[in-house]
Amino acid sequence: MSSQSCVTIHKEWDIVAARQMGREIAKQLGFGTVDQARITTAISELARNIYLYAGEGKVYFEVIESLDKKGITIVATDTGPGIKDLSLVMEDGYTTSGGLGAGLPGVRRLMDEFDIESETGKGTKIVTTKWVR
Amino acid sequence: MGTNDLDARSYTDLLKGYIETRDERALYGAEQISKSFIKNNISPEEIVNMHIQALLEIYPELTDKIQPTMNFLLEAMMAYGLAHQEYQLLREKQLRIRSEIEVAAGMQSMLLQSEVPKMDELDIGVISVPANQMNGDYHHFVKGKDGTISIAIADIIGKGIPAALSMSMIKYAMDSFPENEMSTNTILASLNRVVERNVDPSMFITMFYAQYNPDTGKFYYSSAGHEPGFFYSDKTKSFKEFEAKGLVLGVNPDTTYMQSELDIEKGDMVILLTDGVTECRKGDVFIERDEVLEVIKTYMHLPAQDIVNHVYRYFEKIQNFQLRDDFTLIILKKVV
C-alpha cells in the first residue's frame, strides 16, 4: 500500500512546509525522535537545493507499508539546470554553500537508500528512502 | 544490546549518580562516556536523545516542560552531527592519502639510495632528512674503477612530490653518463640540458658536483647555483667558502660551468650542504651561516658520521623538531 503527498517549492517558506509534511508522515509511521529529525533534515536539504539551484520543483512523499517493513520515500524533482558531474557533488567535502549544508552526501547518510538522476539542462530527480527500524 | 543501547544505559545511570552525589567522580564518568560516544560514532543528536530518554525515566513529571526544549536542542544538533560524520570520512580519506604518500616516499628512497663509499683515506658522513614525507634534496656517491669518487648534492627549488619526482630523473640522467670520464663542469652542463628539456619551467635545480682523486689528493668541483659549502684547512685551522659560480640547472640550455680544484691534505674537511641547513630558523630569525660552522667546530674531532648527526640534532632542536626545509649535510674528512 502506498499513498502520496506533495509540496511545490518555489520560495524559502515552502521548505518549512515540506519539512512539516515530512515530519508528520514520519511521526505517524512510528519513526523515533532522532530519525524524525534526520528525515526532516534530509527534506530540508533537498528542498533547499531546489530553491537555491533550480528555482522551482516538487518534493513528494510516499509511504511504503508492506508486511515486513514500513518506510518513507522522499522524491525531489526539478526542471533546473541539472548537475554536470554527479560523482563530484556526491563526494564528501565538496560544497558550493561554504560547507554549511549537509549536501547530497549528507542526505545519503541521513537516509537508508538514495538514488539520483540528472540531465544537464533538463533537471534532477532524487529518490531516497528511510525504513522504520 | 548494541553499543548504542549500552551507552544509553550507562548514560542514564551516570546521570542518576550525579544527581544524587553531585561529585567529581560522576563527572569523570561523563568524560569517559563522552570518549566512548566518539569511539562508537554516536552523533550529537543521538546523545541529546539519550538525555531525553534519561530525563523521561528520572523526572517523568517534568517531561511536559522540558521535552520541547530538548527536542529543539536535538534539531539544533543535526548539522553538527552531519559535519562530524563528514569530518570522520575526510579523516579516513586523509589517512589513506598519507599512507599512499608513505609508499611513494619509500619507493623514492629506494630509487635514490646511494651507498656511501668506504675508503681508507676519506671518512664520509651523510645525513639527509626530508621536511615532509618526500625529500626534495638529493645526494649521490659513485666510486669509479680508478678509485675516484664522485659526489653530487642537489636541491630542487620547490618542495614535496613534484620535486621528488624530478629527482629520480636527475639520478637516471647521471647514471647514464660514462663513469668518471667527464669533468665536473661537463656533467653539470649535460644535466642542465636534461633538466631544461624535461622539467617544468617553474622548477629549478641547484647542484654541487665534485670528484676526488685519492691518488693525487685533488678535489675538483663545479656548482650550478648551489648553496656554497665549506673547506676546512687543517694547516691554517680556518674555514673557507667554496667559490663556485654557475647558473641553476634548467634555465638556459647553453649554460656552461667552470671547474675549480683544490688540494686536500690530511686533517682537511669538505662540508657540503643544502639551504635546509643554512636556512634553519630560530622562531622567525634565520641563523647565520657562521652558526653552522660554530656547531661543526664543536664536533669536528668526532668521526664524520657523528659530526653530521650532532649538527642535525642541534638544528632539529632549535627548530622545535619541525624542519621547514629538507636538510642534507655531507662531511668528508681526510684522515690519512
pLDDT digits (tens, 9 = 90+) for B100-130: 988 888 888 888 888 888 888 899 999 998 8
SS3 for B246?
coil
Mapped onto helix, strand or coil, the DSSP state of residue B249 is strand
Whose grid coordinates read 614525507? B133
Of A37, A102, A109, the CB nearest to B45: A37
A32, A93, A102 ranked by CB distance to B82: nearest: A102
The pLDDT value given to residue A74: 97
Best mutation site among B71, B82, B93, B96 for testing chain A: the one with the most A CBs within 10 Å?
Answer: B82
What digits encode the pLDDT tens for the residues B13-45? Answer: 999 999 999 999 989 999 999 999 988 889 999
Is A102 at the interface with chain B, CB within 8 A? yes
Instruction: Calculate how close chain B gets to A38, using CA atoms only, in Å.
Output: 7
Structural domains of chain A ordered from first start = 2-131 (3.30.565.10)
Contact status, residue B81 vs residue B107, Cβ threshold 8 Å: no
The interface predicted TM-score of the complex, written ipTM, equals 0.84
- Which of A32-46, A89-103, B10-24, B251-265 is least confident? A89-103
- CA pair distance B52, B302, nearest whole angstrom: 70
Inter-chain Cβ pairs, chain A and chain B, closer than 8 A:
38
> With an 8 Å Cβ cutoff, is B8 touching chain A?
no
Residue B239's contacts (CB-CB under 8 Å, 6 or more residues apart) are B230, B231, B232, B271, B293
Compare CB distances from B45 to A34, A92, A93 and report the shortest one's residue. Answer: A34
Q: Does A32 touch chain B (CB under 8 A)?
A: yes
Note the pLDDT of residue B72.
Answer: 94
CB contact under 8 A, A34 and B46: yes
- Domains detected in chain B: 3-93 (1.10.1240.30), 114-334 (3.60.40.10)
CB contact under 8 A, A92 and B49: no
Q: Out of B45, B46, B90, whose CB is closest to A93?
A: B90
Question: Is the Cβ of A106 closer than 8 Å to some Cβ of chain B?
Answer: yes
pLDDT at site B105: 84
Instruction: Name residue, grid cell 516538487.
Output: A58
Interchain pair A110, B71: CB under 8 A? no
Query: A41 to chain B: which residues are within 8 Å by CB?
Result: 78-79, 82
Nearest of B187, B199, B198, B169 to residue B224 by alpha carbon: B187
B10 CA: distance to closest CA in chain A (Å): 19
pTM: 0.67
Q: Residue A59's beta-bridge partner residues? A: A7, A76
Yes or no, beta carbons of A105 and B86 under 8 Å apart: yes
Among A75-79, A86-90, A98-102, B239-243, which range has the highest average pLDDT? A75-79
B130 CB burial (10 A radius; 0-12, 13-18, 19+) = buried
Nearest-Cα distance to chain B for A1, in Å, is: 31
Residues whose CB is less than 8 angstroms from the CB of residue A36 and which lie 6 or more positions away in sequence, other chains included: A23, A26, A27
Q: What's the confidence (pLDDT) of residue B1?
A: 47
Write out chain A residues lying below 8 Å of B52, CB-based. 33
Question: In Å, how far are B9, B91, B167, B265 from B35, measured between CA atoms?
Answer: 15, 17, 45, 65
CB contact under 8 A, A106 and B86: yes
pLDDT of A98 above 60: no
Q: Is A38 on the interface with B (CB under 8 A)?
A: yes
| Residue-level pLDDT at A1 | 43
Distance CA A24, CA A46 (A): 17
Q: Which residues of chain B have pLDDT under 50?
A: 1
